[in-house]
Amino acid sequence: MSEEAKNERRVLVAVDEGDESMYALSWSLKNVVFQNSKDTLILLYVKPHHGVYSALDATGILDEPQIPGHSYSPQITAAIEKYSQEVADCVLQKAKKLCKDLQNVKLETRVESGDPRDVICDMSQKLGADLLVMGSHGFGILKRAFLGSVSNYCSQNVKCPVLIVKKPKPSASTG
């Protein structure tokens, strides 16, 4: 591999609603993806599949009565879809803001739907990622409760190197 090759990498960063994934993105911008490096930075947001909302529904958070296993009314489906897209736009906008000072680095964004564990693994391969970056605990408190640790799963199943970044807890002395 030539010396130049190291600066033409495809770095996939999985972002979500949590602060930790934004911290992971910032950390990778300072430590892995450099200015003028000819890297491609791909920001991936995974919209939850409807199963997560089914579970919410069972808790009574959604106000339309549902028979378990029954499909949503078109109104509910449309509302979920709209909300989900708004969250995706908001997360990616926040992530792109963090990347605003990058020069020459190509920036791409992707929104996919499904179980984040499978989608992140699949997209790492499909997009030819040379490195996957993710937070340690991200993908939402609710989603994590239903789906388990996404970073654990991905670090075991993704073929490319995986960088897992934890957000440091605020130091007591600065509080």
Of these, 8, 19, 31, 78, which contacts a second copy (CB under 8 A)? 31
Residue 30 binds a second copy, judged by CB under 8 A: yes
**Tokens describing residue 56:** 């919410």
Which of 27-35, 69-77, 86-94, 102-110 is the region at the interface with a second copy (rule: CB under 8 A)?
27-35
Q: Footprint of a second copy on residues 144-173 (CB under 8 A)?
A: 149, 151-152, 155-156, 159-166, 168
User: CB pairs under 8 A, 24+ apart, for 156-159?
Assistant: 157/117, 157/121, 158/120, 158/121, 158/124, 158/125, 158/129, 158/132, 159/124, 159/125
Of the candidates 115, 155, 122, the residue with the CA atom closest to the CA atom of residue 139 = 115
Q: Footprint of a second copy on residues 66-85 (CB under 8 A)?
A: none
Q: Footprint of a second copy on residues 90-149 (CB under 8 A)?
A: 130-131, 136, 149
Min CB(32)–a second copy separation in Å: 6
Instruction: For residues 17 and 138, give the distance between their C-alpha atoms in angstroms, rounded to a whole number.
Output: 8
Tell me whether residue 33 or residue 44 sits nearer to a second copy (CB atom). 33
Min CB(12)–a second copy separation in Å: 14
Say what the alpha-carbon torsion angle 70, 71, 74, 80 is, to the nearest 10 degrees. 110
E strand intervals along 23-175? 40-47, 106-113, 131-135, 162-165
Tell me whether residue 44 or residue 134 sits nearer to a second copy (CB atom). 134
Give the binding site for a second copy (CB under 8 A).
1, 6, 9, 24, 27, 30-32, 130-131, 136, 149, 151-152, 155-156, 159-166, 168
